[in-house]
Structure 1
Amino acid sequence: MSFAAAIRSAAGAARGRVTYDAPLAPLTWFRVGGAADALFSPADEDDLAAFLGALPREVPVTVVGLGSNLIVRDGGIAGVVVRLGGRAFNAIEVTADHSLVAGAAAPDAFVAKAAATAGVGGLAFLRGVPGAIGGALKMNAGAHGGEISDALVEARGLDRTGAVRILSNADMGYSYRHSSAPDDVIFTRATLRGRPGDPDAILAEMERITRVREASQPIREKTGGSTFKNPPGASAWELIDKAGCRGLVVGDAQVSTMHCNFLINRGGATAADLEALGEAVRRRVLETSGVTLEWEIKRIGRR
C-alpha cells in the first residue's frame, strides 16, 4: 500500500524537502535496501511538528539517522522516512556546568570533539560510536567503557502528533543497548553533562580510541556497527569465532575476517543477504555455545 497521496497533502506547507519513492541505500553504511514512499528532511523543529500534526495517523513514520547501525530491507519502507539534518538539527553548543546541547543529527564523533575542546570530560567514548546523537539516545549507544546513559540529562523530541516531549534520563528507561523511550518520539536534541577535564588529555584519549577502532574494526568497508549485542558475561565476537563463522559468506555478504561481530557488503550484497548471514551466525552460535545472540543492528522495512 502506498501512502503517497496522504503524504503529499500533509507536505503541502512543509518548508523542508520531501522526496517521493526515495532510494534509501545511499543513506546507510551497508549501501543496501529499497526505497521509501517518501523521505522528509524538515527545515527545523517547527516544520517537523507541523508536518507530523498534519499527517494522517495511519501513515507510518520511520526515523533514519546516519544509517551506521541499520539494514533497510530490499522492499523499502512504507510511509514517511524522516531524516534530520542541517544547522537546525546538528548544532552543538557548550553550556555551563560542563554540559552541552547537541542536535540529534550531530555525529557522535563531532560531539566528542566539541566536548574535548571545551575541557568537558566523560564524553570521549562517543569518538568510538558510529552514528549521530539521535540514534545514540534511542539505543543507549556506547563504546570503550561509556554509554549515553552515563551522560544524558534530558532529551527533547516530538511525538506523533507534533507535540514537544521532554524526557529525563530516568524517563528513558535505559539498559544495555536499549531504551524504553516511546516509539513515536523523534528526538531533536539532547543535553549531556560531563565533568571537568584537560583538553589535551581528552584529545589523547580520543586518538587512542581512533587507533583501536582502525586496528580492530573494518571501518573502511561497507559495514555497520557491531552486529550483535554482547550476551551477559560473554563477547559476541568470541562466540561467533568459536562457531567457525569468521569469513562466512552468504551471497555477497561476509562476516568480517578482521572483527567477526561485523558484517560486510563486499559490493553486490542485498539486505536479504546480510540478514540471512546474520541469522546463519545466530544459528551456529546457538548450536555451538547454547547462546542466542540478539541483533544490535536495527533491521527495518519490507522484505
Structure 2
Amino acid sequence: MSAPCTALPPLRGTIEHQGSLADFIWFRTGGPAEWLVRPDDVQSLAAFLAGLDPEVPVLPVGVGSNLIVRDGGVPGVVVRLPKAMAKVSIEPGNRVRAGGAAMGITVASAARDAGIAGLEFLRGIPGTVGGAVRMNAGAYGRDTSNILVEITLVTRNGTVETWPAARLGYTYRHSELPEGAVVVEALFEGTPGDKAEIGAEMDRIAAEREASQPLRSRTGGSTFKNPQGHSAWKLVDDAGCRGLRRGDAQVSEKHCNFLLNLGNASSVDIEALGEEVRAKVKAQSGIELEWEIQRIGVDK
C-alpha cells in the first residue's frame, strides 16, 4: 500500500495510518487499513468525505463479524463509527431509531423493553446496524428489509441523505447501497407485543445459536448464502467438508457453514479453504455456492 499521504482532509476524530483491523475483525486475521478513520459524529464524517480525493476508496466496517480481510490490507480509507453513533431510541408508532454503530442485540433489547415485537431476530445477528442494512442481514425467517423504514447515510461525496427502505433495492443478502456510502442511522418498525413473549423469543434465539454455532471461536459468521431451496451447511456437509482443514483454517464441525481460525490461520488460508469447499460442493451437487462473507483488501 502507498506511503502516508498529506492530502487527507482534517477530521474531528482520529486518523490512523496502517491501522490494525485484525485487532477487532472476528477472524483476527488480515492486514491493516491504509487509513483507519474514526469520526466523532455525522457532521465530521460528512466534512471529511466531502474533502477526500474522489479517487480514494472508502469502506465502512462495523465489528467485522462478516469479513475476511486479506493479508495485504485494505487500500484507501476504512471508516469505523464511534460508540457515540450507537445510540438507540424509541419513537411513536412502534418504531426504533438506531445509530449505525449499534449492535443488533442492543436494538432487539430496546424493542423488547418497549413492548415492540418483530425485531427479535436481530438478537441473532452479531453485527452492527450499518452492516445489517447494507447486506440485508437476516436470521430465523426474517430479514432487515422486513422491518426497515428508512436510513440516514453519508454518501461518498459527503452529502447526508435520508433514503426510504424501498430505495435500497433489497434482495437476499444484498442491497443497492452505493459504494463508499456509510449508514449512520436506521429507523425500524415493529408491532405491539408482550414484553415477556418477546423476551422469551429472544432467549430461544440465543439458546439456539449457542447450541448450533461456534460462537466462542474465531469465526466470521455464515460463510455462504443459502441457494434457493437448499441449506448451505447441508450442501457442505454432504460434500464431505465437515472438519476440513487448510493449515489452521477449518470448516467448523459444529456448523458446516462456518469457517474457523484455530489459532494461526492467515486470511489466505481461510479464503482458500472456502474456495476448496465451493469446488467440492460444485463437484458433488452441481450447485455453486456464493460467498456471504465479504472479502476485502488485497493479497500480500
Q: TM-score normalised by the shorter chain: which range applies?
A: over 0.9
After superposition, the Cα gap between the structure-2 partners of 1:99 and 1:15, relative to the gap in structure 1 and judged at 3 Å, is same
Q: Partner of 1:156: helix, strand, or coil?
A: strand
Deviation beyond 4 Å, 4+ runs, structure 1: none
Deviations 1:214-243 (A, max 9, x none): 000000000011000000000000000000
* TM-score, normalised with respect to structure 1: 0.97
**Change over 3 Å in CA distance of 1:52–1:112 after alignment to 2:** same
Matching residue of 2:163: 167
- Separation of aligned partners in 1, 2:86 and 2:241: 38
Counterpart of 1:266?
A: 262
Kept in 2: contact 1:3–1:59 (CA 8 A): no
Aligned residue for 2:12?
A: 15
Distance 2:30 2:71 in 1: 4
Q: Do the aligned partners of 2:70 and 2:268 also contact (CA within 8 Å) in 1? A: yes
- Name the SS for the 1:175 alignment partner: coil
SS in 2 for 1:136: helix
The question of 1:256 aligning with 2:285 is answered: no
Q: Deviations over 1:132-177 (max 9, x none)?
A: 1000000000001111000000011011111012211110101111
Q: Shift of the alpha carbon at 1:9? A: 3.4
Q: Specify every segment of 5 or more residues in structure 2 that has no aligned partner in the other structure, as ranges.
A: none
- What does residue range 89-238 of structure 1 map to in structure 2 within 5 Å? 89-238=85-234
The separation in 1 between residues aligned to 2:267 and 2:19, in whole angstroms, is 17
What is the identity, as a one-letter code, of the residue corresponding to 2:228? Answer: P
Whether the 8 Å CA contact 1:165–1:185 is kept in 2: the answer is no
Does the residue aligned with 1:4 lie in a helix, a strand or coil?
Answer: coil
Is the 1:105–1:132 Cα contact (8 Å) retained in structure 2? yes
The answer for the alignment partner of 2:46 in structure 1 is 49
- The TM-score with structure 2 as length reference comes to 0.98
- Deviation for aligned residue 1:36: 1.1
**2:4 paired with 1:4:** yes
Secondary structure of the residue aligned to 2:7 is: helix
2:26–2:65: 8 Å Cα contact kept in structure 1? yes
Distance across 1 between alignment mates of 2:188 and 2:106: 14
CA distance in 1, matches of 2:157, 2:174: 24
Cα offset for 1:11? 3.7
1:46 counterpart SS class: helix
Cα gap change, 1:205 to 1:289, in 2 (>3 Å)? same
**CA shift for structure 1 position 10:** 2.8
Q: Identify the structure with the greater helix proportion.
A: 1
Tell me the equivalent position of 1:82. Answer: 79
Distance 1:71 1:232 in 2: 24
AA of the residue aligned to 2:53: P
Q: Is the 8 A contact 1:61 1:82 kept in 2?
A: yes
Question: Displacement, 1:3?
Answer: 6.3
Q: What are the residue-to-residue correspondences of 1:59-70 with 2, within 5 Å? A: 59-70=56-67
1:270-295 CA distances to partner (integer Å, 9 max, x unpaired)? Answer: 00000000000000000000000000
Higher mean displacement: 57-66 or 250-259 = 57-66
In the alignment, the residues of structure 2 paired with residue 280 and residue 28 of structure 1 have an alpha-carbon distance, to the nearest angstrom, of 23
Give 1:4 shift.
2.9
Note the aligned Cα RMSD (angstroms): 0.9
Letter matched to residue 237 of structure 2 = D
Instruction: Quote the offset at 1:79 in angstroms.
Output: 1.0
Counterparts in 2 of 1:239-254, with a 5 A limit? 239-254=235-250
